[in-house]
Each structure stands twice: as structure tokens, then as C-alpha cells.
Structure 1
């Protein structure tokens, strides 16, 4: 199935809305579908990974972030940030700290703020 970029963006936004309103299950279903259609698009993979983090599926999020996104874009600061968050949740603080410190230094304002909050927690 081929979907337009606009449709994938709209569906991703709906997935985010579900995620941030506390409906992690519905969000993951939506984002899994978006990912299946837009399989090669980094923004789609990021959305899927973020919903996995918020849904507590840290191993799945780590796999997407580390093995899909960062392999293709090694300096993707949002991916490093959310990978750091997932690793903290898994108790892997040393690796998380290294990633989050890198994001604080090189990420944009939003990424740096999120990373700093997790470093200081």
C-alpha cells in the first residue's frame, strides 16, 4: 500500500495525540500501522519509538532507535535523547548518561532541555 506523506503525517499526529492523552495501546496500534506503510521514513520510525517509550516497551524502542534510526543517521539527536530515556528506564544509566550529555551539548533547545531533565533526575 502506498500512502501520501501528508496522510502518514496526519496518522502520526493522531498516534501522538493518543499517546500523550494516556492511550498508549491505541497509540501503538496507530503507529505500528503507520510504520508498516512508511517503513523507510526516519520520522515515522521516531514516532513509533516514542510511543514505545511512553508505552513502557523499552526493548522495542531501543531496537528501533539503535538499530534502525541511529544506524542510518548516527547524529540524530532526538533518537539519542529517547534512546537515553529508554536506557535509563532499563537501568543502563552509564550508556544513557553518555548519550544524554551528547544531546545536551549538540541538540536543539527542546532536545537539550529533555536530556538535561533526565540527566538531573
Structure 2
């Protein structure tokens, strides 16, 4: 999923990059490699962001970011719009008769249970 920052005013630019990459699921080493900084610097930025958002750990930081409107997901929004445009498949008329299919109910009576035990 493509995560991007929705509100860039909440974090300094470098910290925002680190938190955004963490929200994408990247490890500390991968973030450090991509940004050209040390893993200790990545951890420092994440710790500062945790303090700012009152988060206990990395997962809580990302969760707090989503709840406070820091992130937005481009693919998720597009998929929700696409799925909301699709009609409900169960209530569509069948192509042959133009009527809705009857509800299917399976009834198990005492005789069926007796036959099953035998």
C-alpha cells in the first residue's frame, strides 16, 4: 500500500520521511539505507515522533499517525471508491429470468438426523 503524508506541518521534514517509511513497513536498516543516514539516527527520529504522538512503540506510532490524520493511502482510497461503485451481487436479478433467486434454506429434521446416525 502506498502511504503518504496527509499533513506535513505536524513533523519536521526528515522525521516525516522516517515516519512515513516506517508506516510503509520498512525496517530501521532499510530506512537508513534509503535515506543515507545511520540506523541510530532513524531510531532517534522514531523515538522523537513517539514522544510527540504519545506512542509506546513503533506500531502504536503508526496507529496514532493514522488516527490523527498524519497519513493517507492512495491505493486504499481508490479501491474503496471502486468497490463502492459495484452493485451488490446477491441482489442482482439473474440474467435468464429477470427475478431474484430464492433464498436457499437447508432444513434438517429428525428423520434426516436418524438416517445420518445409522
Q: Under TM normalisation by the shorter chain, which class is it?
A: under 0.3
Q: Which has the higher strand share?
A: 2
Which has more radius of gyration?
Answer: 2
TM-score by length of 2: 0.25
Higher relative contact order (CA 8 A, sep 6+): 2
Choose between structure 1 and 2: higher helix proportion. 1
